[in-house]
Structure 1
Amino acid sequence: MNEMLSRGYHKDPEIVRVNELPDHAYFIPFDTAQGTRSPRERSPFFYSLCGSWKFLWKSSLYEMEDFYKPDFDISQFKQITVPECWQSHGEDYIQYQSSPYPFINDPPHIPEKNPVAAYIKDFDIAPAPGKRYELHFEGKDSCVYLWMNGHFVGYGEVPHNDSAFDVTPFLQNGKNRLCVAVLKWCTGTYFDDQDKIRLSGLFREVYILERAACGVTDFALTADMNGALSLSVKAEAPVSAAIYDGDRLLASADVSGVWQWQCDAPRLWSAEDPYLYDLVLTCADEVIRHRFGFCTVAIENAVFTVNGKPVKFYGVNRHDSAPDTGYVTDMAFMRGELLLMKRHNINAIRTSHYPNDPRFYELCDELGFYVMCEADQECHGMSYIKEGWNVLVDDPLWATCIHDRMVRMYEAFKNSTAVVIWSLGNESGWGQNLDNEAVWFHKTDATRPVHYESAFSGYMKYEEEELRRRAANLDFLSAMYPPLIEGLGSRAHIGASLAHRS
């Protein structure tokens, strides 16, 4: 029996990660302030593992041997480029599915015949004393088991969110071997049922970050229309923070805990004028730059406002995919799509129905888009069973799985100015688990409203009291192709889905 079968994490709905690092804001450290203006791959602390990997696909997990053992013969392996979906490589088949699950709907069970791909990457590295090394998988469908130099490292789920692992104890000076098993399905797949072309594999970048052992592990920034800035930083060494307007230093401070600063007459950020300032954090030998705008979003008298002014969204549902490469989208493609949207006066994007590549949000900050950041959470296939599609989102068994997806999204993108709305996911019915997440978002982030469409799906069969209960912790009246719902018309309204680009 191979180790994936003996560990069985992919079959347990309450195990969504093993040995993953805590979630945190997305950032890439550099060694100089000037360097932070460069693409992330130019950081001396960024070790890309993209490119050619050894690859072996099997139609069933039971057929996969112990390929992660150091003495395993890999002569039968082919070559694959990472990132790439394995269907694009000629393995398995490409499947479009709108809502039914691609297997028998019997949660929490998944098919015993579960396709799997083995990936092997040999690379050289010289670990430095006093450093720690983080291994990042920004996109993997549906889950990963991984080993470094024959040692089990961990397990992670949730396709469109980063999974990061501390591999410091497993690295050796010189040659190293990373082995990764990607399974087509896991229990989390019950929440990956988005309307899209179904693909599998390592579809976003894989890399190692060299980190100062005492460096910044997280930071949270808010900056409102009145110029009030609040910054909190987590680090085990002294941190200095500086705010720049272009090359002009506006303020600086040594930060321990929370730093608050007042900017006089800031130039405000909006989709029409996406003006950005720079936050520069220095800690140990690392420098982190984060670009941000001063902006306040609110709902006032059932109207969504940006910096106190009413805003009407002219937006799209956007899948993070490309016609030739599927789930693999690079910076040039993402920027090109956003510029095309700008030319057509689009000002808002719903990341349907999962978080995008983290660099996508930086582009939206820069170019000016209002982003509804949506969790990787949809179980539309449950709508086909007689018990109704509320089953999973109302069952405590799945509470950990659902909350994990919200936390991953929030922590990664909490500092993005472009993110003006959090969305709990899509087409999953309504239940206590989602209601709890709406409450959690409001407690965690008082600066952004919360959206979810399916609380009102099939609303005509519910009494007004039930609709009001469902709407209690949501900030929008949101439905697909809806007439107004009597009694709830005083809420801000979003037509959540009128067109898709898959």
Structure 2
Amino acid sequence: MNKYSSLFFTFLFIFLAGCNKNQPAEWEDPTILQLNREPARAHFFPFESEKLALQNDRTQSQYFQSLNGNWKFNFSPNPNDRPENFHKANYDDSDWSEIIVPGHWELQGWSVPIYLDEEYPFPPNPPFVPHDYNAVGSYRKSFTIPDSWDGRHIFLHFGGVRSAFYVWINGDFVGYSQGSKTPAEFDITDFVQIGENNVSVAVYRFSDGSYLEGQDTWRVSGIEREVFIYARSKTRISDFFAITSLDSTFKNGIISLKIDVENKGEPNQPYEIRVKLTDSSRRKQELYDSTFVTTIDSSNSIRFDSEINRVKSWTAEEPNLYTLGLTISDSTGRLIEAISQKVGFKKVEVKNGNLLVNGKAIMIRGVNRHE
């Protein structure tokens, strides 16, 4: 290598090192919305029996554990003052305060809530937010993984955190997420152990997402929706998408359904997917029953359309609903998971400047509701 090549690579190394040093944090980088977060999916909970699925109360599942309640909490006025290494498993948080989750720290004695209409709570300079005026809440909580969860995939669910947050389990970094009003889930299977574990969370009051979350509302911060963990089978229904409508007579229902199944480690074998629709009188109609073979570390998608005669249509005045039930079973007929979801049949159109629901013009009255 001649001296010019040597100088070139030396300056290149210095340049790249400088670029890395000046790399913005995730909460000021518009190209990063998450790290290691699970893909968004439909809102549902998987149960171990059809009976539990019909009740649709996840607290009754043996594979659900709420993390709501008291958490250890430390408030810092800015990122530089937050406690270092607080996420370590052996960190001593005995002198920390406690905070109730879900909840906002401004309503529990730390800092103050801000109400603004058209302005930001800081001088705008997108995507950057103040470093000296950006409070950080550090949270810690212990939880126990029971023996019955061994061999299953375990997920950590945050219903909503404002504005951005990092997560660690037992001292190991799990992921990052922003988007205050959207759930965030993380696969923590490789981070937890049977028995006692610790979760640590660092919540930033402001992020680049705050520029999009600047609506007419109270500006508050923290883990503002529920937190829980749950365990699932290695082969499972990962997502589903149901589109319902009515035919041209507005008497018969039409449903288009897409079901995604993933296998995260089970041996190759056939599985059975069944779909049922139950009305308010508990009359059941089977919509789909099929067997397919899935391989290890693979995903499958099932699509089908079905028509239901003489349905009770949905309107705001008469919100008739049906229960859509999905089950997946193994080759022996053993139920793996059951899911239920309320669905309604309606047809929405715009004709001649009118918004029609089931062929009738409607008027919409809106309300500004803050959460």
TM-score by length of 2: 0.82
1:160 alignment partner in structure 2: 181
On the 8 A contact 1:18/1:155 being kept in 2, the answer is yes
Query: Partner amino acid for 1:180?
Result: V
Is 1:12 matched with 2:29? yes
Provide Cα deviations, 1:57-76, integer angstroms capped at 9, x if missing partner: 01111011220012322122
Residue matched to 2:260: 234
Mapping of residues 74-93 of structure 1, within 5 Å: 74-93=93-112
Matching residue of 2:63: 45
Distance 1:31 1:274 in 2: 29
- Cα distance in 2 between the residues matched to 1:145 and 1:18: 9
Q: Distance in 2 between matches of 1:78 and 1:264?
A: 59
Structure 2: segments with no counterpart, 5+ residues: 1-21, 248-252, 263-270, 291-300, 330-335
Give distance in 2, aligned partners of 1:307 and 1:318: 27
2:145 matched to which residue of 1? 125
Cα RMSD, aligned residues only = 1.7
Q: Larger relative CO (CA 8 A, sep 6+): 1 or 2?
A: 2
Preserved contact between residue 159 and residue 183 of structure 2 (Cα < 8 Å):
yes
- Counterpart AA for 1:117: G
Alignment partners' CA distance in 1, 2:181 and 2:325: 28
In the alignment, does 2:296 pair up with 1:262? no
Aligned to 1:97: 116
Is residue 2:231 matched to residue 1:210? yes
Determine which structure has more spread, i.e. the larger CA radius of gyration.
Answer: 2
* Deviation string, structure 1 residues 79-129 (Cα, Å, up to 9, x no partner): 111001001110011111112111111111111122101100101112634
**Secondary structure of the structure 2 residue equivalent to 1:88:** helix
**Kept in 1: contact 2:322–2:342 (CA 8 A):** yes
Structure 1 CA distance for aligned equivalents of residues 255 and 302 of structure 2: 14
Return the letter of the residue paired with 1:28.
F
Query: 8 Å contact 1:29–1:45 — kept in the other structure?
Result: no
Measured after TM superposition, the shift of residue 27 of structure 1 is 0.2
Deviation at 1:38, TM superposition (A): 4.0
**1:416 maps to which residue?**
none
Deviation at 1:314, TM superposition (A): 2.6
Give the drift of 1:7: 8.2
Q: Residue 21 of structure 1: SS of its match in structure 2?
A: coil
Partners of 1:129 and 1:214 in 2: CA distance? 15
Q: Percent identity?
A: 35
Q: Deviations over 1:221-248 (max 9, x none)?
A: 1121221111110013532111111321
Structure in which a larger fraction of residues adopt helix: 1
Deviation of residue 209 (structure 1)? 2.0
The counterpart of 2:279, out of the listed 234, 245, 255, is 245
Structure 1: tracts of 5 or more residues without a match: 321-502
Are 1:225 and 2:246 matched, yes or no?
A: yes
Alpha-carbon distance in 1 for matches of 2:327, 2:23: 44
Q: CA deviation at 1:187?
A: 1.1
Describe the SS at the equivalent of 1:280: strand
The residue number in structure 1 matching 2:48 is 31
SS of the equivalent of 2:316 reads: coil
Counterpart-to-counterpart distance in 2, 1:261 and 1:151: 47
Deviations 1:430-478 (A, max 9, x none): xxxxxxxxxxxxxxxxxxxxxxxxxxxxxxxxxxxxxxxxxxxxxxxxx
Aligned CA distance change for structure 1 residues 195 and 137 (closer, same or farther; 3 Å): same
CA contact (8 A) 1:126 1:172 kept: no
Return the alpha-carbon distance in structure 1 between the equivalents of residues 361 and 345 of structure 2. Answer: 17
Higher strand share: 2
CA separation of 1:181/1:7 partners in 2, compared to 1, >3 Å: closer, same or farther?
Answer: farther
